[in-house]
């Protein structure tokens, strides 16, 4: 498994648990889970580019 699929799976599992445990209704759980997933993956992409630019 390469790094990016590992990150995606990590984000998926963590977001699922965060969504279910931090909100009360199914609709809000789903929305919060999607929000957490987007933040996980988005921050990974931004930080990866930052590290790439710093290392050049």
Partner 1 sequence: MATEENKNAAAGQGFIYLPLIAGWLVPGAGHFLLRKWGRGTLLAASILGMFGLGLAMHGELKSEVHDILDMLGLAGDLGNGLLYLVSRAAGWGADKVQTTVGDYGTRFIVVAGLLNVIAAVDAHNLRTGRKQ
Question: Which of 4, 8, 24, 32 touches partner 1 (CB under 8 A)?
Answer: 24
Q: Report the alpha-carbon distance of residue 8 to residue 17 in Å, rounded.
A: 14
Work out how close the CB of 36 gets to partner 1 at its nearest, in angstroms, rounded to a whole number.
Answer: 12
Q: Would you give the binding string for partner 1 spanning residues 2-21, x where CB under 8 A is met?
A: -x--x--xx-xxx-xxx-xx
15, with CB counted inside 10 A (0-12, 13-18, 19+), is buried
Q: Report the alpha-carbon distance of residue 10 to residue 40 in Å, rounded.
A: 9
| Residues found near partner 1 in the complex (CB under 8 A) | 1, 3, 6, 9-10, 12-14, 16-18, 20-21, 24, 26
């Amino acid at each position: 498994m390469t790094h990016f699929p590992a990150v995606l799976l990590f984000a998926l599992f963590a977001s699922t648990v965060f969504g279910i445990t931090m909100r009360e209704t199914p609709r809000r759980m789903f929305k919060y889970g999607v929000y957490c997933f987007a933040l996980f993956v988005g921050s990974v992409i931004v930080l990866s580019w930052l590290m790439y630019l710093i290392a050049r």
